[in-house]
Amino acid sequence: MGIVYNTTMSPTKTELVAAWLAKQEFYTGQGAPKLESVGGFRLEDPQGEVGIELSFYADHSDTSDVIYHVPLTYRDAPVDGAERYLLGTSEHAILGTRFVYDAAGDPIFIAQARELLAGKATPQHRSESFTADPRILVRGESRGKDAVIIRKPVAGDPAEAGVIGIWENALGQDLSGLVLRTA
């Protein structure tokens, strides 16, 4: 899964996320989300079967500066028992039908996030194949702990242990903050 394909998906990831996000308790926007992808990174599935992408979106539906963190997994078949986490299906121009999940309900993401916290998984660049992203950092004592997704990350230097992610503000400047904390 180290390959990042420069191709199309229909519906797009952003379209699937926007429809799903509007129904989530943590969504604070006004009306339908108007999302812009502003950052992210990937994790590798050791078996090479599941795509894992931790994505950051700015919502332009209002004047707030809220960033949403939406980890996703992409699979070629549905996950038994994970129906409530399914955002939908998308046709990938190269790989065919992909089942797109909120990664919070995907056991491969849960395991790889734990490996990331333990220093055993390397965060990958979101748009370059086989390229580590050294800007993604693990802070504090996090070995042996589970990861909790921070759905609305805030830029700043956190006191908590976890994973520091990077996203862009409206001026194209990099901001960073805690995106996964330890359980």
Q: What global pTM score does this model have?
A: 0.93
* Per-residue pLDDT reduced to its tens digit, 89-126: 998 877 889 999 999 999 999 999 999 999 999 999 99
pLDDT, tens digit, for every residue of 120-166?
Answer: 999 999 988 889 999 999 999 998 999 999 999 999 999 899 999 99
Distance separating alpha carbons of residues 179 and 56, to the nearest angstrom: 9
* Cβ neighbours for 75, distance < 8 A, ≥ 6 positions apart: 49, 50, 51, 98, 99, 101, 106
Q: Which of 97, 6, 96, 60 is nearest to 86 (CA)?
A: 97
Q: Return the half-sphere exposure (C-beta side, CA atoms, 13 A cut-off) of residue 84.
A: 4
